Structure 1
Amino acid sequence: MATITVLSTTAVPDHVRGALTRWMIEPTPGLYVGTLSARVRDELWRVVSASVGAGAAVLVHAEANEQGYALRTAGERRRVPVDLDGLTLVAFRPQQQEALPAVTVPGPTQPT
């Protein structure tokens, strides 16, 4: 049975966007919505997750669990889904701080 599927992408190659628009609508850039069978959904996700490159993607679809949906991610994101006793929660990775160059502050000069 087909169920609603939502897929969000960030910075994915154009050929991935083209493949998604064959099966889903794109109401805003990078957001795809459609009613797909599990087989089509899984095949599209396989293509997207293998081709995400430097981008990222999140898939949400109906599932027979306590929350009523499942969440899948591909690529590097700051938000990471975490399973906690059967519930999917979202954890944040700490922001990476860029290493600052060492600064030498001259002390007071000595009279000569």
Structure 2
Amino acid sequence: MTVLHTTAVPEHVRGALTRWLIEPTPGMYVGTLSARVREALWAVVSDSLTDGAAVLIYPDSNEQGFTLKTAGERRRIPVDFDGITLIAFRPEEYQETANPS
């Protein structure tokens, strides 16, 4: 099973995603994809991001049983720690300087 969560992506990208995946809640897409289709969809999503962000989670043959990819600016950053993906947080000061109000 593949899970793709998006924030602030263009409507045409949302339409492309719903051809292959279901959208149980706004911005969250779930389904079973071949690696080829998954990578093609991820390329479309990651190339279309301007202010948005996306997270892709799919099964893989590693210790955790899945791989996680991100695109766009997020406070949470995946970090590889000896083959296991952990999540690190950027300091809030970074967020304030990256997105001044």
What is the TM-score when the length of structure 2 is the normalising length?
A: 0.91
Where does residue 22 of structure 1 map in the other structure? Answer: 19
Q: Name the structure with the higher helix share.
A: 2
Higher Rg of the two aligned structures:
1
Q: 1:93 aligns with which of 90, 94, 99?
A: 90
For normalisation by structure 1, the TM-score amounts to 0.82
Give the distance between the partners of 1:47 and 1:33, measured in 2 at CA: 16
Partner of 2:5: 8
SS, match of residue 42 in structure 1: helix
1:47 aligns with 2:44: yes
Moved beyond 6 Å, runs of 4+: none
Q: Tell me how many residue pairs correspond in the alignment.
A: 95
Shift of 1:48: 0.4
In the other structure, the counterpart of 2:31 is: 34
Unaligned runs of 5+ in 2: none
Stretches of structure 1 lacking an aligned partner (at least 5 in a row): 99-112
Aligned to 1:75: 72
What is the RMSD computed on CA atoms of the aligned residues?
0.9
